[in-house]
Homo-oligomer: A and B are copies of this chain.
């Protein structure tokens, strides 16, 4: 079985229609917001190429395109933290995906936290500031797993 997308023919088709006609950027990618189906917490922002999106739809497990490793990435293949898709949505102009997923152990981030978004930035004119700089605040107090145990010597994906 393979998944097929429709061509984009009109604004009305894209915005108001029932055809899946995703728009990939010049690098062939579409951004994907992934949230925890239970809590609604944003776990990660990833990218999919056409194959990753098709495999996600076919299998019901989240697949991404790893920009750092330049490979199709079945999330959880290394860590075991496979994401089971509860719902997949597409936005108005079909250039973004939203996945609601369930994950074992409720952990997603390669640093070891539950969500990749584990730090907040104080916002608004009254927030503390040091010469215009605002210190990040950790919203998760402890790591859910030890990334060294899970990922071993795999290279860190963060780029400066």
Contacts and interface: CB of A to CB of B under 8 A. Distances in A.
Range class of the A interface residue count: 35 or more
Interface in A64-111: 85, 87-93, 96, 98, 109-111
Interface of A is mostly: loop
A151 B129 CA distance: 37
Given A18-B136, A59-B125, 11 more contacts: A1-B132, A3-B129, A6-B133, A20-B136, A31-B45, A40-B41, A42-B89, A58-B124, A88-B120, A90-B120, A92-B158
Interface of A: 1-6, 8-11, 14-20, 23, 31, 33, 35, 39-42, 44-45, 56-60, 85, 87-93, 96, 98, 109-111, 113, 116-125, 127, 129, 131-139, 156-160
